[in-house]
Amino acid sequence: DAGITQSPRHKVTETGTPVTLRCHQTENHRYMYWYRQDPGHGLRLIHYSYGVKDTDKGEVSDGYSVSRSKTEDFLLTLESATSSQTSVYFCAIQTSGETQYFGPGTRLLVL
Amino acid sequence: SQQGEEDPQALSIQEGENATMNCSYKTSINNLQWYRQNSGRGLVHLILIRSNEREKHSGRLRVTLDTSKKSSSLLITASRAADTASYFCATVVNTGTASKLTFGTGTRLQVTL
């Protein structure tokens, strides 16, 4: 699993509440990514980071923000959760060989 | 928008048979990767093929890439029940800051005994 953990693994929240998901890596890789996976859409890139405090938007970034204050942690925040953000969220790190390694995922349900 | 589109969406075969999955994409790429996902788990990298390569092997996996047709195929030979999973292709474009992967919607493979 390339030393990637995600927390929490499951979360139920209500519409309008802020939610923060954490991705932690133990191998000091520079590049980290957040994806969401929904039926019929495959994985879609939300945000990515190419270093501490260096982040950029992906394909579906509206309603999400990220922060990376340390190499090992990449946080994804839903500012005000909506039902459309119910999904499975995956974090990934990228090695020098351009391969990405994925965390176990976080299942988020927004009621 | 989706860059890679897999075909078929679902495939059911018997153990020992070969399974072939196809991926088509729309724009120029740096490389193409295939991933596997078991139910309820994260994705696992299987193989990477660069844009200047035509074929690559890894164990029972064979990947081809035809950049003129913007398509790739993944062949799993002598399939096993343990190969049951969803398989995704991901096209990779290297930007100025990072490598961006765009995933297709996947092929669900069922291998029965």
- pLDDT tens track for B26-42: 999 999 999 999 998 89
Residue B1: its pLDDT value, please? Answer: 44
Q: How far is A61 from chain B (nearest CA, A)?
A: 13
pLDDT, mean over chain B: 93
Beta-carbon pairs below 8 A across chains A and B = 62
In tens, the pLDDT along A17-74 reads 999 999 999 989 999 999 999 987 789 999 999 999 999 999 999 999 999 999 999 9
- How far is C-alpha A14 from the geometric centre of its chain's CA atoms? 19
Q: Which of A94, A93, A76 is nearest to A36 (CA)?
A: A76
Q: What residues of chain A have any CB closer than 8 angstroms to a CB in chain B?
A: 1, 31, 33, 35, 40-45, 48, 50, 54, 56, 58-59, 90, 92, 94, 97-105
* Alpha-carbon distance A34 to nearest alpha carbon in chain B (angstroms): 11
User: CB atoms < 10 A from the CB of B26, how many?
Assistant: 13
Q: In B1-106, where does DSSP find H-type helix?
A: none
Residue ranges, chain B, pLDDT below 70: 1-4
**Contact call for A99 and B33, based on CB within 8 A:** yes
Going through A1-111 in order, the beta strands assigned E by DSSP cover 4-7, 10-13, 19-25, 31-38, 42-51, 54-57, 64-70, 73-78, 87-94, 100-102, 106-110
Predicted confidence at residue B5, as pLDDT, reads 82
Question: If DSSP codes are grouped into helix, strand and coil, which group holds residue B83?
Answer: helix
